[in-house]
Structure formats: C-alpha cells, structure tokens
A and B are shown apart, each in its own frame.
Chain A
Amino acid sequence: GENVEQHPSTLSVQEGDSAVIKCTYSDSASNYFPWYKQELGKRPQLIIDIRSNVGEKKDQRIAVTLNKTAKHFSLHITETQPEDSAVYFCAASRNSGYALNFGKGTSLLVTP
C-alpha cells in the first residue's frame, strides 16, 4: 500500500519568514495530493491540493509543488503569521476508489 513520509515533524519560524514542509510517497500510481491544517482541538481542514497533471499550485500565501519523478511534494507558506501555527498533514491517493493515506504531520509554530 501507499506509504507517505513527512518532514520535519516540528518546525518553528519567526513571523514573516517562510515555512516549507516536505512529503514523499511510495506508490507511483498516486495522483492526488492534498494538504490539511489541524488547529489545536479542531478538525483537519483542507487548505490546498494538487493533482499529478500540474507541477505547482498557488493560493495566496500557500503553494504546493509536485515532483512526480522523484515522488515528492512540498507545502510552502510565505509571510507566515501566528495564526498559521497548527499541525499540517500531507496525504496521497490513487485515482478513484482509494482512500487518502496521510503523513505523520508537522507541528508548525510561528512566533511573533
């Protein structure tokens, strides 16, 4: 089955700096890669996703890049703010009929 590795497990940055979280996956048939944000005591929420037919996707301060050859994808957050502090999970899945497989999560702390 799919194995998703996520690094780092914790990340601390100063407000205004950029944060990068990286994930690798094992199943070359995977073609959908979402990122979820989970604030303390709250449910995971989808923040951005990318499919294998594109290499990069941006949404304001958040971007995701995908390298299908190397089987890795990354989340980039620019101009970080304290409210970005949360646990971020990457996930991967094949096309239809398969559920999401998640990484272990990255605890991001943005200090003022």
Chain B
Amino acid sequence: ETGVTQTPRHLVMGMTNKKSLKCEQHLGHNAMYWYKQSAKKPLELMFVYNFKEQTENNSVPSRFSPECPNSSHLFLHLHTLQPEDSALYLCASSPSTESYGYTFGSGTRLTVV
C-alpha cells in the first residue's frame, strides 16, 4: 500500500446517476490532484488542491465537481456524465505543489453507460 487509497476501484453508472469518487492519503501531504487517464491520451490534469484550496481547474466540465474537506481527503462528484467520460480516474498527492514526488492511487475505473 503506497498510502494513497481510492474507492471504489470500479464504477459503472448511468448517464443520469450521481456518484462520488473518494481519495484518501496517509502520507501527510498537502497537495492532491485528480487526473483522467483515457486510452492513447496523456494523463489529463483535472484539478489541483494545495492546503485544501483549489489552485487549478483545467477547464473541466461542470458535471465533474471536486471537494477537498481537508488535506487528507479528496472527492470527485459526478453527475449527468457522458459515455466519453469513461476512463481511469487517478488521484495523486505530493508534499505540496512546490515540491514533487507524486504518489498515485490505484485509480477508479469508471464506465458510463
């Protein structure tokens, strides 16, 4: 276990559903990130939180809504998704956005039907 835990590991949801992805880190890091990994595409940065404050929103559609209640937890709330949103969603953490050494979670494999 690397210290970054994502749940659930797999999720199938309909386009009208609402679901949430959860990420938890036990590393004492202060920065957390959401990335989307689609086939044959780069890892796409979605959101960045540093000390619980959102510092970057990479033009992500509003059907994705992040929440960071504290430095250890990060959520991604999903609603009215499209089939093209199906992907692996990876959470990562680092000591802060001013120091590197990302630790990734195992990801949530999302399928939108």
| Chain A interface residues toward B at CB < 8 A | 4, 6, 9, 32, 34, 36, 42-46, 49, 89, 91, 93, 95-105
B97 touches A89 (CB 8 A): no
The count of A-to-B residue pairs whose CB atoms sit within 8 angstroms is 55
B22 CB to closest chain A CB (Å) equals 16
- Which residues of B pack against A, CB within 8 Å? 2, 4, 33, 35, 40-43, 45, 48, 55-56, 90, 97-102, 104-107
Nearest-CB residue, chain A, relative to B47:
A99
Chain A residues closer than 8 Å to B101, beta-carbon distance: 46
Which B residue sits closest to A9, measured CB to CB?
B40
| B33→A99 contact, CB < 8 A | yes
Establish whether residues A103 and B100, one from each chain, have CB atoms under 8 Å apart when the complex forms: no
Interface centre among B2, B90, B104 (most CB of A within 10 A): B104
